[in-house]
């Protein structure tokens, strides 16, 4: 399966930073306040250290207790301002970081909702979940721990250097050499760390995706006794994560010891030379005391800068994955035909059965001519393939008049489900055209097109919520009466009434507390409440036993009455009453007709019906 996030390093670091800064600019006022408070905290620390010079000189030279007291009080006040500034910027930064993360998660989820199904076909759920968890968490760490600290460390580094030159410019030349050695090593180590941090994030996403997939398929794992192989697969991915994590942290961990070692050597040289200068009267003792403390502290902002740089390296690796997903091409929709509600039929008569009071209107046209929503669907020489160079459907043509029941039968992979996917524009045709009530489906806005369709898929998906909420998913403004009427049509009302809280029973874990057949009945009720003019039933009764199928047949007939219905079924008994049965093989319609006509032809359908060959 194609993977989207398997590259070892960002393709465009500048682009990732620009996207990240775009989110920071949305909260520039709060971030400016954080920067001001962080700068105040850094300056307070520098000024407090500088105050050692006048305090020591008052004691060692002037021997004035009053001067000492004034110096101590002023120093305490400076540090007090620093403490308050630190408290202020940490609290503001926490709130600002959460707002930025809220924006990122909102935009990411909103963009994923707009992506075509082809994108999700290429991804594992664990990879997408990793974007919201691991990758956003690394961005959170960087914002909470790095933004203000980086700014504060930068101010301290620059301020320390200025004070050092102010106190003794000769000794400061040696300090500059030490700074240069520190930054050269940091630059080398950062490049290596960035490579391994990015690889670590990729391995983590791979591991998350594997765990998600295996946990979701535990029943299959246990049935086929695949536990040992799964553990081996997990161990392989876990080992890759361990190696990449070790490499990333090893390079990152060398930064601080290297910087500290260089600063210790710097300090020793400065102490010796500074002492010689005081002895020869070139410098005073207060300046040397203050200078030595500043030199000793000079490594601290550099250490912090490199430490926060590690957070940023991990954050950039995660941020690029997030922004890459957000830059995926969204589902395009250039349609101009929309679905509008009318008080009566477009021709002045009563609305057609199954369409309620809905009609099509082309907003690109100057007139306001309305076309009845009837459910007339036609395929004209349609060709399609999910991947370039691999065609699934080959020049198929068919038509479904309003109210007709069209059935598709054929082997697995013949293209039955693909045809229904093209009707609702989950995918776009690569050749030919599909018309709906005379409009090319590409002219119809996707939301309006899908609003007019009701679909019951073979793989039923239920959401966390009540039974009523899951049925209401087909029509968000459905009343309790409409929900129950839909359940009655699907023959789901009786078992719902027997649930502990009836329609208010909570469903979790994709409806794990219901049988597969009951879940499918709820999916049918969800389609029924939408009251669409076109129904697509993709193996809608595949998980329902023959007795239950017979019980809902009458309700299904009522549901399908007056509507265009496309049915995909392996049970040929469910399609005997179809107006037209289309037999597909390898993406081509090889037979068409009703049940009796196809039996009389004694072709593929005849063989399938009499068990002479298998559907699968």
Give the per-residue pLDDT at 611: 67
Beta strands in 2-106, from DSSP E residues, in sequence order: none
Sheet holding 439-440, edge to edge: 393-400, 377-384, 431-436, 439-440
Q: Residue 253's pLDDT is what?
A: 72
**% of the chain residues with pLDDT over 90:** 8
Give the span between the Cα atoms of 515 and 492, in whole angstroms. 12
Which are the contacts of 318, defined by CB distance < 8 A and separation ≥ 6?
A: 134, 135, 136, 137, 138, 139, 201
Range 478-503 average pLDDT:
89
Q: Which of 415, 375, 416, 430 is nearest to 399 (CA)?
A: 375
Separation between Cα atoms, residue 598 and residue 593, nearest integer Å: 6
How do 377-384 and 431-436 pair as beta strands?
A: antiparallel
**pLDDT tens digit sequence for 2-54:** 333 333 344 566 788 888 888 888 999 998 899 899 889 888 888 888 787 77
pLDDT at 280: 78
pLDDT at position 359 over 80 = yes
Q: How far is CA 388 from CA 45, 102, 391, 393, 459, in A?
A: 63, 38, 8, 13, 26
The pLDDT assigned to 333 comes to 82
For the entire predicted model, the pTM comes to: 0.66
Better-predicted residue by pLDDT, 372 or 127: 372
Q: Is the pLDDT of residue 600 over 80?
A: yes
What's the pLDDT score for residue 37? 92
451, burial (CB in 10 Å: exposed 0-12, middle 13-18, buried 19+): middle
User: In this model, does residue 288 exceed pLDDT 60?
Assistant: yes
Pairing of strands 439-440, 431-436: antiparallel
70-117 residue pLDDT tens: 878 888 898 899 899 989 988 998 899 899 989 998 999 888 888 887
Query: Of how many residues is the chain composed?
Result: 616
pLDDT of 346 higher than 60? no
pLDDT value at residue 436: 92
- Please, which residues have CB within 8 angstroms of residue 538's CB and are 6 or more apart in sequence? 416, 417, 420, 455, 456, 457, 458, 568
- CA dist 566 and 420 (Å) reads 8
Instruction: Give the mean pLDDT of 472-495.
Output: 87
Between 120-134, 268-282, 540-554, the lowest mean confidence (pLDDT) is in 540-554
Is 203:241 a contact under the CB 8 Å cutoff?
yes
Q: Do residues 309 and 183 make contact, with C-beta atoms less than 8 angstroms apart?
A: no
Which position has the higher pLDDT, 567 or 226? 567
CATH topology of domain 13-326: ABC transporter transmembrane region fold (1.20.1560)
Q: Distances from the Cα of 509 to the Cαs of 25, 216, 464, 519, in angstroms?
A: 40, 10, 7, 12
pLDDT digits 0-9 by tens, 149-183:
878 888 888 888 888 888 888 888 888 887 788 77
pLDDT for the residue 434: 93
Distance CA 511, CA 463 (A): 7
Question: In this structure, what is the dihedral angle of CA atoms 337, 338, 339, 340, given to the nearest 10 degrees?
Answer: -120
pLDDT at 546: 65
Beta bridge partners of 466: 506
Residue 354 pLDDT:
42
- Residue spans in the chain of domains classed CATH 3.40.50.300: 404-419+453-609
Q: Average pLDDT of 257-283?
A: 80
Is the pLDDT reported for residue 528 higher than 80? yes
Question: Which tops the pLDDT comparison, 592 or 150?
Answer: 592
Who's near 100: CB < 8 A, 6+ residues apart?
23, 24, 26, 27, 143
Given this model, what pLDDT does residue 1 score? 34
State which CATH number among 3.40.50.300, 3.20.20.140, 3.90.1420.10, 3.30.565.10 fits the domain covering 404-419+453-609.
Answer: 3.40.50.300
pLDDT tens digits, 55-74: 777 666 656 677 778 878 88
Rg (CA), the chain: 35
Pairing between strand 358-362 and 370-372?
Answer: antiparallel
| Distance of alpha carbon 250 from alpha carbon 241, whole angstroms | 14
| CB-based contact 608:573 (threshold 8 Å) | no
pLDDT of amino acid 345: 46
- Band the pLDDT of 219: cuts 50, 70, 90: low
Burial of residue 370 (CB within 10 Å: 0-12, 13-18, 19+) is: middle
| Region of 491 on the Ramachandran plot (φ > 0 left; ψ -120 to 50 alpha; else beta) | left
- Report the largest interatomic distance among the alpha carbons of the chain, rounded to a whole angstrom: 121
**DSSP letter (8 states) at residue 404:** -
10 Å CB burial of residue 431 (0-12, 13-18, 19+) is middle
CB-based contacts of 139: which residues, under 8 Å, 6+ apart? Answer: 20, 101, 104, 315, 318, 319, 322
**Continuous H helices in 51-64:** 52-57
- pLDDT tens digits for range 178-201: 778 877 877 777 677 777 777 887
Three-state secondary-structure class, residue 600: helix
Q: Where in the chain is the domain with CATH 1.20.1560.10?
A: 13-326
CA angle, residues 576, 577, 580, in degrees to nearest 5: 90
Q: Which two tokens stand for residue 193?
A: 């760390």
Q: Which helix (H) or strand (E) holds 528?
A: helix 516-530
């Amino acid at each position: 399966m194609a993977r989207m996030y398997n590259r070892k390093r960002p393709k465009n670091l500048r682009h990732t930073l620009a996207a990240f800064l775009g989110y920071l600019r949305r909260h520039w006022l709060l971030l400016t306040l954080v920067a001001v408070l962080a700068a105040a905290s850094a300056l307070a620390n520098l000024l407090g250290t500088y105050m050692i010079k006048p305090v020591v000189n008052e004691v060692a030279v002037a021997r004035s207790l009053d001067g000492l007291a004034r110096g101590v009080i002023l120093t305490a006040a400076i540090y007090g301002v620093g403490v308050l500034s630190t408290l202020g910027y940490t609290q503001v930064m926490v709130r600002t970081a959460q707002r930025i993360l809220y924006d990122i998660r909102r935009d990411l989820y909103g963009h994923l909702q707009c992506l075509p199904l082809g994108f999700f076909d290429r991804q594992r759920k664990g990879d997408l979940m990793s974007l919201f968890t691991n990758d956003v968490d690394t961005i959170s760490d960087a914002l909470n721990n790095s933004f203000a600290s980086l700014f504060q460390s930068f101010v301290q580094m620059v301020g320390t250097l200025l004070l050092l030159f102010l106190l003794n410019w000769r000794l400061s030349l040696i300090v500059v050499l030490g700074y240069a050695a520190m930054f050269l090593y940091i630059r080398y180590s950062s490049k290596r760390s960035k490579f391994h941090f990015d690889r670590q994030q990729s391995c983590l996403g791979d591991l998350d995706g594997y765990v998600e997939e295996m946990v979701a398929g535990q029943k299959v794992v246990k049935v086929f006794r695949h536990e040992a192989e799964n553990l081996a697969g997990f161990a392989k991915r876990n080992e890759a994560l361990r190696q990449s994590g070790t490499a990333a942290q090893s390079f990152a961990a060398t930064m601080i010891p290297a910087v500290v070692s260089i600063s210790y050597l710097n300090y020793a040289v400065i102490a010796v030379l500074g002492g010689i200068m005081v002895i020869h009267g070139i410098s005073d003792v207060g300046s040397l005391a203050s200078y030595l403390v500043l030199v000793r502290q000079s490594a601290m902002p550099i250490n912090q800068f490199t430490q926060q740089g590690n957070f940023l390296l991990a954050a950039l690796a995660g941020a690029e994955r997030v922004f890459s997903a957000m830059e995926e091409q969204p589902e395009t929709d250039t349609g101009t035909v929309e679905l509008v509600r009318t008080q009566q039929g477009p021709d002045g008569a009563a609305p057609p059965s199954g369409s309620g009071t809905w009609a099509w209107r082309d907003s690109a046209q100057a007139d306001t001519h309305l076309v009845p929503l009837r459910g007339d669907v036609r395929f004209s020489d349609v060709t399609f393939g999910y991947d370039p160079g691999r065609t699934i459907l080959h020049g198929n043509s068919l038509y479904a008049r309003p109210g007709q029941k069209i059935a598709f039968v054929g082997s697995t992979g013949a293209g039955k489900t693909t045809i229904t996917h093209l009707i609702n524009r989950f995918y776009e045709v690569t050749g030919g055209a599909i018309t709906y009530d005379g409009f090319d489906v590409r002219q119809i806005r996707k939301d309006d097109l899908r609003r007019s369709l009701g679909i019951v898929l073979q793989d039923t998906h239920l959401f966390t919520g009540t039974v009523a909420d899951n049925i209401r998913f087909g029509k968000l403004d459905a009343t309790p009466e409409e929900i129950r009427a839909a359940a009655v049509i699907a023959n789901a009302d009786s078992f719902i009434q027997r649930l502990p809280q009836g329609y208010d029973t909570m469903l979790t874990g994709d409806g794990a507390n219901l049988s597969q057949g009951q879940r499918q009945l709820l999916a049918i009720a969800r389609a029924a409440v939408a009251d669409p003019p076109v129904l697509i039933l993709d193996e809608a009764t595949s998980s329902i036993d023959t007795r239950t199928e017979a019980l809902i047949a009458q309700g299904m007939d009522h549901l399908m009455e007056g509507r265009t219905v496309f049915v995909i079924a392996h049970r040929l008994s469910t399609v005997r009453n179809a107006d037209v049965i289309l037999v597909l093989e390898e993406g081509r319609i090889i037979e068409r007709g009703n049940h009796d006509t196809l039996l009389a032809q004694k072709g593929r359908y005849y063989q399938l019906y009499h068990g002479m060959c298998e559907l699968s």
